[in-house]
């Protein structure tokens, strides 16, 4: 038993609530953080939620399995809870967690295939064997003294069989890069624990192949579709929540300084994607269809990564706890982690258990790897205003002003499968995929341009939903065209005087097959301290459709949208107020059209659509509109009650 269990449980309730850790009235450098206590508090809460769903001894063949009521499935990956249970037992001294860990392992052993793998039920995929094996290896170290000789042999046999399977099959040709990266840690650990250097050697080979897929900015390719056998494409969520920590843990186990240096370099850039509220900006990546706001629904979490490198840079502990603060807001009344900030408002049933056991295993590793009880907070890049960062390898720009933070994406990855693939419905074409407002939170967010269910169990049914991503669009007899399908847009960014930033993206409105319909566009963003302005210029090449500019604003409970006239809409959320104003152009605001369709499972959010309709003049070649979102700071500016 490491410390008083009641303290950790109380810590989640009082929590400090983590909000006090980042209180703006106290300078960040003067704040003290308690990462192990915070990780333990949430870990215990999630472990209890999983324990409540574990089948008892009386369940026969299902004993020890963890039931997912949402999917009506015994997910084999849920047995990864063996390590959260193990660490919960270590933290609290409570033997019910020890029993739960041993039962989960015993159930998992019964599911093992003759070749040593585990299927990711209800799917046939076996690459997740690396996740299950790593949790068994880490748990065995802690549980071995309590296991009989017979059980020890059962564990060792199952683990060796799984490691041998990974040794045979794992490669970038077999799996997406996050599995390869995780396997570097899994086989390195297996090599040590099972006394088989051949596993360690294979881990090194995989690690070197993995870092070879890093671009100059430190982002890891390999999450998308195959082109001549190779995968490309970057996803921020899977980078931060799977791949980088896998490589980092491998490097620590093997003292591989080359791999370690690559992870450190990449992590410095990834840190920019932790927003001020702790949300992890996976809005733009090729697997952003699973973005939840706190991370990705089926990846592990970023706390383990930040714990691995917390001794390198004090900002990493701050980032891990800031994201934990945001994650806690997504724990539903059922005790399970939901799909996003408004899960309870969108769904009337408990979520799938995937996010819960994935984040629990991450927190268990984060707790184990964190070396200090107390750390000093350090400001994140997102905590300071007045900067713009361009990521050249991604055609991506982040802007942080006093009142806003935004991600603008023109990421050029194109999947070889085109519209038949699952990676080409992410936001693009110069869209703002994530807009945060100071003192409020999500103002805009992205969701798939066309919602599909490539993995039916992972993607809830959502018939008829419309994208939350701000966009330009039109529909005519030849199809649906939007800037979100422009994957060849031209992006530039410049800084003006007085802390103002200009981002420009131009391209063509295209259909899902990346075919233009005859209308070009140019998006000019102007960011100032308390204002975001957009100028959109349309060029009519070969067709003259009615074009709509859609601005879905995230609709939180109690938020109001008051339309003063055709050009002005006031927005209120508690004490925060903004005005959305059409400054020039022949258009008018239309509010709330098809509002019931503006919601998305990932991230679980709903929005209120605001729309400008542009009808071209009979001889016009170009037309443009300019509008702004302005913070109302003074009483004279604010809406009269």
Q: What is the pLDDT of residues 402-424, one digit of tens each?
A: 999 999 999 999 999 999 999 99
Q: What is the CA radius of gyration of the chain?
A: 25
Question: For the segment 65-112, what is each residue's pLDDT rounded down to a tens digit?
Answer: 999 999 999 999 999 999 999 999 999 999 999 999 999 999 999 999
pLDDT at 641 exceeding the cut of 60: no
- Segment 437-448 shows an average pLDDT of 98
Q: Is the pLDDT of residue 628 over 90?
A: yes
Question: How does residue 456 score in pLDDT terms, banded at 50, 70 and 90?
Answer: confident
Tell me the pLDDT band of 13, cut-offs 50, 70 and 90: very low
Q: Are 28 and 370 in contact (CB under 8 A)?
A: no
pLDDT of residue 16: 44
For residue 628, count CB atoms less than 10 angstroms from its CB and return exposed for 0-12, middle for 13-18, buried for 19 or more.
Answer: middle
Angle between helices 95-111 and 82-92 (to 10 degrees): 160
Confidence of residue 7 (pLDDT cuts 50, 70, 90): low
- The structural domains of the chain, with segments of one domain joined by +, span 5-383, 387-631
Residue among 227, 138, 110, 118 nearest 179 (CA):
118
Which pLDDT score is estimated for 617? Answer: 86
The answer to whether residue 527 scores a pLDDT higher than 80 is: yes
Average pLDDT over residues 351-360: 98
Does 14 have pLDDT greater than 50?
no
Tell which residue, 235, 297, 314, 300, has the closest CA to residue 270. Answer: 235
**pLDDT tens-place string over residues 146-188:** 999 999 999 999 999 999 999 999 999 999 999 999 999 999 9
Q: What percent of the chain has a predicted confidence (pLDDT) above 70?
A: 94
CA distances from 401 to 82, 349, 437, 482, 501 (A): 44, 39, 10, 28, 9
Per-residue pLDDT tens for 360-384? 999 999 999 999 999 999 999 999 9
Query: Do the Cβ atoms of 38 and 320 come closer than 8 Å?
Result: no
pLDDT of residue 66: 98
Q: Which one-letter DSSP state was computed for residue 234?
A: B
If you search the block for the tokens 């704040």, which residue do you land on?
A: 31
- Name which CATH class applies to 5-383: mainly alpha
SS3 label, residue 16: helix
Query: What's residue 17's pLDDT?
Result: 46
**Predicted pLDDT of residue 410:** 98
The percentage of the chain sitting over the pLDDT mark of 90, rounded to a whole number, equals 92
550-609 tens-digit pLDDT: 999 999 999 999 999 999 999 999 999 999 999 999 999 999 999 999 999 999 999 999
What 3-state DSSP class applies to 391?
Answer: strand
pLDDT in tens, 47-62: 999 999 999 999 999 9
396 vs 390: CA distance, rounded Å: 6
What distance in Å separates the CA atoms of residue 612 and residue 590, rounded to the nearest whole number? 6
For the structural domain made of 387-631, what CATH number should be given?
2.70.98.70
Residue 623 has pLDDT above 70, yes or no: yes
- Nearest residue to 178 (alpha-carbon basis) of 97, 81, 286, 106: 286
> Average pLDDT for residues 505-519, to the nearest whole number?
97
pTM: 0.95
Residues 375, 317 contacting (CB under 8 angstroms): yes
300-327 mean pLDDT: 98
Dihedral of CA atoms 139, 145, 147, 152 in degrees, nearest 10, equals 70
- Does residue 348 contact residue 67 with C-beta atoms inside 8 Å? no
Question: In which band, very low, low, confident or very high, does the pLDDT at 458 lie, cut at 50, 70 and 90?
Answer: confident
Predicted confidence (pLDDT) at residue 137 exceeds the cutoff of 60: yes
Predicted pLDDT of residue 532: 98
Predicted confidence at residue 222, as pLDDT, reads 97
Rounded mean pLDDT of the chain?
94
492: phi then psi, degrees, rounded to nearest 5: -140, 155
Q: 75 in the Ramachandran plot: left (φ > 0), alpha (ψ -120 to 50) or beta?
A: beta
Q: Is the pLDDT of residue 1 over 70?
A: no
Helix, strand, coil % in the chain, rounded to nearest 5:
35, 25, 40
d(C-alpha 12, C-alpha 626), whole Å: 46
């Amino acid at each position: 038993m490491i410390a008083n269990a009641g303290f950790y449980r109380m810590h989640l309730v009082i929590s400090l609530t983590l909000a006090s850790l980042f209180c703006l009235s106290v300078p960040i450098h003067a704040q003290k953080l308690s990462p192990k206590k915070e990780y333990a508090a949430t870990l215990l809460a999630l472990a209890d939620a999983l324990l409540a769903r574990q089948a008892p001894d009386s369940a026969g063949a299902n004993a020890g399995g963890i039931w997912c009521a949402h999917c009506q499935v015994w997910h084999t990956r849920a047995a990864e809870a063996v390590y959260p249970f193990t660490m919960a037992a270590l933290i609290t001294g409570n033997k019910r967690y020890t029993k739960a860990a041993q039962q989960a392992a015993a159930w998992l052993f019964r599911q093992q295939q003759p070749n040593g793998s585990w299927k990711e039920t209800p799917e046939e995929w076996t690459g997740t064997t690396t996740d299950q094996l790593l949790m068994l290896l880490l748990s065995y170290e802690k549980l071995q003294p309590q296991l009989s000789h017979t059980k020890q042999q059962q564990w060792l046999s199952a683990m060796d069989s799984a490691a041998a399977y990974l040794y045979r099959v794992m490669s970038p040709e077999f799996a997406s890069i996050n599995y390869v990266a995780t396997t570097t840690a899994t086989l390195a650990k297996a090599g040590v624990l099972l006394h088989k250097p051949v596993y360690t050697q294979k881990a090194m080979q995989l690690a070197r192949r993995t870092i070879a897929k890093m671009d100059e900015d430190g982002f890891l390719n390999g999450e998308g579709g195959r082109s001549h056998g190779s995968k490309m494409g970057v996803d921020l969520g899977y980078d931060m929540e799977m791949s980088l920590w896998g490589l980092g843990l491998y490097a620590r186990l093997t003292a591989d300084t080359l791999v370690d240096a690559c992870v450190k370099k990449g992590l410095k850039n990834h840190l920019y994607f932790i927003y001020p509220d702790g949300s992890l900006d996976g809005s733009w990546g090729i697997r952003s269809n699973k973005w939840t706001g706190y991370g990705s629904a089926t990846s592990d979490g970023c706390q383990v990564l930040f714990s691995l490198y917390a001794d390198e840079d004090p900002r990493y502990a701050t980032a891990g706890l800031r994201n934990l603060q945001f994650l806690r807001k997504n724990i539903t009344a059922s005790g399970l982690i939901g799909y996003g900030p408004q899960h309870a408002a969108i769904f009337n049933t408990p979520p799938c258990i995937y996010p819960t056991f994935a984040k629990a295993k991450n927190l268990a590793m984060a707790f184990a790897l964190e070396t200090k009880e107390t750390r000093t907070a350090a400001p994140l890049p997102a905590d300071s205003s007045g900067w713009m960062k361009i990521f050249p390898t991604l055609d991506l720009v982040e802007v942080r002003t006093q009142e806003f933070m935004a991600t603008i994406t023109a990421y050029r990855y194109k999947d070889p499968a085109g519209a038949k693939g699952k990676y080409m419905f992410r936001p693009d074409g110069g869209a703002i995929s994530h807009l945060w407002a100071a003192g409020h939170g999500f103002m805009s967010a992205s969701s798939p341009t066309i919602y599909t269910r490539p993995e039916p169990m992972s993607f809830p049914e959502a018939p008829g939903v419309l994208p939350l991503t701000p966009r330009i669009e039109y529909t005519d007899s030849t199809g649906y065209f939007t800037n979100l399908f422009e994957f060849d847009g031209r992006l530039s960014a410049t800084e003006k005087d007085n802390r103002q930033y200009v981002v420009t993206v131009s391209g063509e409105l295209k259909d899902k097959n990346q075919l233009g319909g005859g209308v070009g566009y140019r998006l000019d963003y102007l960011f100032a301290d308390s204002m975001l302005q957009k100028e959109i210029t349309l060029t009519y090449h070969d067709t003259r459709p009615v074009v709509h500019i859609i601005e879905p604003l995230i609709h939180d409970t109690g938020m109001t949208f008051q339309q003063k006239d055709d050009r002005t809409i006031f927005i209120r959320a508690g004490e925060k107020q903004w005005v959305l104003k059409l400054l020039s152009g022949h258009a008018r605001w239309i509010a709330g059209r098809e509002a019931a369709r503006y919601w998305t499972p990932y991230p679980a959010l709903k929005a209120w659509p605001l729309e400008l309709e542009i009808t071209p003049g009979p001889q016009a070649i170009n037309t443009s509109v300019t509008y702004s979102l302005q913070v109302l700071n003074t009483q004279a500016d604010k809406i009269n009650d």
